[in-house]
Amino acid sequence: MNSNLVQIATALTALIVLGGPGPLPAASGYANSWDVPASVRVTLATDKSQYSLGDKIQVRISYQNMSTQSLVIPPRISPVNDVLLKIEGSDGVALPQAADVPQRAGPISGHTILLDPGVTIVEKSSGGEFIPISDWGYRITKAGTYHITAVLLGPGTSSNVATVIVTP
């Protein structure tokens, strides 16, 4: 069994032993995350590049296997539990999150996924491929340019930066 499969099986066993989701994790890791090897590219996209103030800003998170080996992805909890969203204004100041972001329960993907080399999968929630940033507790309350990044909890793998413009 290759080392990626062993790591993923170990993480999945920890998830089963530790139980369901709890509070947001510390920087040291999260039992509900899958162990993402460096060969996985995380991509973040928005449904539009420009919004009016008050519009629902949504993101799509995808994973592409850049290696030459298939990777096993165990059943996961909602992207809101497994992915940290970072949003900064053009001034470099991070937007605050609401303190009352609800945790999701149960796996969003009820089965193990085999991610073959070169294949891309898109994270989905109950609303589809695009997930509102409000699900992570973000509210943009003033016009400006914002930079959004997805960071997988546990391994800390970061996505590209998606830039959006919010007009009055």
Q: Report whether pLDDT(108) > 60.
A: no
Count of domains for the chain: 1
- Tell which wins on pLDDT, 96 or 9: 96
Averaged pLDDT, 32-61: 85
pLDDT-wise least confident of 16-30, 43-57, 102-116: 16-30
pTM greater than the 0.85 cutoff: no
15-23: long-range contacts at Cβ-Cβ below 8 A with a sequence spacing of 24 or more?
15/74, 20/77, 20/105, 20/106, 21/77, 21/81, 21/103, 21/104, 21/105, 22/103, 23/103
Max mean pLDDT range (66-70, 86-90, 120-124, 150-154): 86-90
The CATH number linked to 155 is 2.60.40.2970
The range of the structural domain enclosing residue 140 comes to 3-19+28-167
